Amino acid sequence: MLDHIEYESNELIDRLPEHLKQFIKPQNYEDYTPVDQAVWRYVMKRLVSHLSKVAHDSYLEGLKKTGVSLDEIPSMYGMNRILKEIGWAAVAVDGFIPPNAFMEFQAYKILVIASDIRQLENIQYTPAPDIIHESAGHAPIIANPDYAEYLRRLGAIGAKAILSKHDMDVYEAVRKLSILKEAKGTPQEEIDAAESEIEALQEKKVELSEMAKIRNLQWWTVEYGLVGTIDDPKIYGAGLLSSIGESISCLKDDVKKNPYSIEAATQEFDVTKPQPQLFVTPDFSYLMQVLEEFANNLSLRKGGSKGLQKLINSKMVGTIELSTGLQISGNFSRTILDEDSEVIFFETEGPTALAYREKELIGHGIETHKNGFSSPLGKLKNINLAIEDMGPVDLKAYNFYDGKHLSFEFESGIKVEGLNVTGIRSLQGKLLLIQLKDCTVSYNDEELFTPEDGVYNMVVGKDIVSAFAGSADSSSFPNLYSKSSTLTVKKERPGSLSELEKHYQSIREYREKNSDDAAFLKNLFQELKSEHPEEWLLMFEILEISKDEALNQLLRDHLNKLAVDSPKLKSLIEDGLELIEEGLPV
């Protein structure tokens, strides 16, 4: 049973399947503190000042189109009213979500936004997805139609890429680290242990899964992509657009620039460190060209025994599609191959559903097949025609119609015997499934099915033409993706604001009311200098609105001294002062 959580919806969000809706959470805008709002203002204004020179042209225009304000954290409701005009929507989620789920949201043209915002201590960069990264990084670029279509198509293909257990281990480890780093007061030894866990996983010599490869493509384009020429690239990746540090460092010569190609699918990355190399695409349409080249090598398009084996190894719900168009979705557990490595028998365990053209067959959902499903595949022995290619006359000649006792053998040696109860046909009249009573299915000396097992549903198909992660019909498995066992650590929100937060709030109100009270600002400066000597962001908030030159000089002197005394604040303070000198409000 899914938890019922209230959140702002619209027609784009309403069409999402239940297994995705479980990840949506309310934004709870009132939880943002005055400090959070100040962090947003500083990061956004510093980023936009720099990005106006180095980001793709679509970025600044996209900020306006997608309703992302520089002055306050955006609300989902406000963003969705504007995103609707370009055919997209946004939802709030709880940090990192499973890889296939993330991709599937993209396929539905939904941006998933982690609604938390980074702590002031992590203002330059956070490994945790936050609202700065998501709304200020991802949202503006999707206003570009070519890029938006690439993002949707990447999601549609990525949602069907097959994972490995290693992928899920990495996902859980990265989620854990991001949560620990953003949780106030986490002991350093816990963070070190989490980083060591990721390093150990990254050092494992495992074959890259389909999901790992498409995750790499996503990373080097959507998150860390450059566009243009090798000598003069522009930023479009959200990870770069939302990182004060890397948006500056990434364009320096010591970061290698490679022409974007399918080779990016095998280039691994480290989420805990700045990237030593980046890929440059000539334009957004070229991203689609590489994606199509990559997709042609996926089990989604190749099927076969290798695709089925990948599903078995993943230990997650996946789907095979047969040459008849019939689709079987479930946890695949076994396969039997012939001497040519062709699948002659498959088996699932647990809930299984059958579908045709992404629509579940009536009476063949997970309630009917709750204990698994199995069937032989291939051609019949000594018969030139496959069952799927037989017309009405052929079917009658071989007793393939209701009420007749059947006994036949596949070329593989699998034997089937039982009473033909009924069959299911496609719209074109092709037989998709035969239902048999008192049925025995055997192979060599093994009984694969006996009459005691109940009614046997045998699918019709020569071979597997497609294999992919997830369910054919999105409604077949309401709990397709399980939530992570690692829960985010929510910031404790006391019933009232701290004294420092009250000062942030008072400055916010001062700005909004366009007040002019030099004495108030001077007194606040003196109090902060005495009671909070390391406070720097609020000093900038005061400097931005003060019209008293004497006070402004005191503020600059204090900030410059802080930059000397606290090296970790040096670049933050210097960049903030530069913005003010240029006449740009911090």
**pLDDT of res. 115:** 87
> Residue 351: what are its φ and ψ, rounded to 5°?
-50, 130
468 within 8 A of 506, measured Cβ to Cβ: no
What value, to the nearest 5°, has the Cα angle with vertex 245 and ends 536 and 221? 145
Backbone φ/ψ region at 454: left (φ over 0), alpha (ψ -120 to 50), beta = left
- Model confidence at 3: pLDDT above 70: no
Checking if the pLDDT of 5 tops 80, the result is no
pLDDT at 160: 97
| Cα–Cα distance, 519 to 516 (Å, whole number) | 9
Provide the token pair at 181. Answer: 């780093």
How do residues 380-415 score in pLDDT, each as one tens digit? 998 877 888 887 788 888 878 788 899 999 999 999
CA angle, corner 309, sides to 303 and 314, nearest 5? Answer: 110
Q: Report the distance separating Cα 454 and Cα 373, nearest Å.
A: 12
Per-residue pLDDT of 64-89, as tens digits, reads 788 788 899 999 888 888 888 889 99
C-alpha–C-alpha distance, residues 586 and 578, integer Å: 10
Q: What whole-number distance in Å separates Cα of residue 327 and Cα of residue 337?
A: 19
Q: Which residues contact 402 (CB under 8 A, 6 or more apart)?
A: 420, 421, 422, 423
- Binning pLDDT at 50, 70 and 90, where does residue 2 land? very low
Nearest alpha carbon to residue 40 among 491, 581, 586, 507:
586
Helix (H, G, I), strand (E, B) or coil at 473: coil
**What φ, ψ does residue 340 adopt, rounded to 5°?**
-95, 10
Summarize pLDDT for 82-114 with one digit per residue, the tens.
888 889 999 998 888 899 999 999 999 999 988
- Residues 6+ away with beta carbon under 8 Å from 505: 34, 497
* Beta-strand pair 110-114/89-93: parallel
pLDDT of residue 1: 36
The total of other beta-carbon atoms located within 10 Å of residue 387's CB is 26
Give the 3-state secondary structure percentages of the chain, helix then strand then coil, rounded to 5: 45, 20, 35
d(CA 403, CA 264) in angstroms, rounded, equals 57
Q: What's the confidence (pLDDT) of residue 492?
A: 62
At residue 220, the 3 state secondary structure works out as: helix
Kindly state the greatest CA–CA separation across the chain. Answer: 102
- Residue 106 CA to residue 115 CA, distance in Å, equals 17
User: Taking the CA atoms of the chain, what radius of gyration do you get in angstroms?
Assistant: 29
pLDDT of residue 317: 96
Helix (H) or strand (E) holding 580: helix 570-581
Contact status, residue 257 vs residue 277, Cβ threshold 8 Å:
yes
User: What's the CA gap between 260 and 407, in Å, rounded?
Assistant: 57
The predicted-structure confidence for 124-147, as pLDDT tens digits, reads as follows 777 677 888 888 888 889 989 999
Mean pLDDT of the chain: 90
pLDDT at 545: 94
Rounded Cα distance, 75 and 67, in Å: 9
- Residue bearing the bigger pLDDT, 63 or 262: 262
Phi, psi dihedral angles at 419 (to 5 degrees): -90, 120
pLDDT tops 60 at residue 338: yes
The stretches of 532-569 forming alpha helices (DSSP H) are 537-545, 549-565
In tens, the pLDDT along 282-316 reads: 999 999 999 999 999 999 999 999 999 999 999 99
CA dist 427 and 484 (Å) reads: 41
The predicted pLDDT at position 584 comes to 54
Q: pLDDT at residue 494 above 80?
A: no
Residue 336, beta-bridge partner list: 345
| Amino acid 385: pLDDT | 79
Evaluate if residue 531 carries a pLDDT over 90: yes
Write down the pLDDT at residue 104. Answer: 96
- 504: enclosing H helix or E strand: helix 499-512
Is 495 a residue whose pLDDT tops 70? no
- Residue 585 — very low, low, confident or very high, per pLDDT cuts 50/70/90? low
Q: What is the pLDDT of residue 4?
A: 47
Provide the pLDDT for residue 583. Answer: 65
Instruction: Please state, in angstroms and as integers, the Cα–Cα distance from residue 410 to each residue in 375, 377, 380, 414, 544, following that order.
Output: 12, 8, 4, 5, 81
CA distances from 275 to 167, 261, 268, 315 (A): 20, 17, 10, 32
| DSSP state string for 234-267 | EE--HHHHT-HHHHHHTTSTTSEEEE--GGGGG-
Residue showing tokens 């053209």: 357
Mean pLDDT over 156-168 rounds to 94
Nearest residue to 379 via CA among 426, 413, 349, 402 = 413
pLDDT at 524 over 80: yes
Predicted confidence (pLDDT) at residue 153 exceeds the cutoff of 90: yes
Taking the complete model, does pTM exceed 0.75, yes or no?
yes
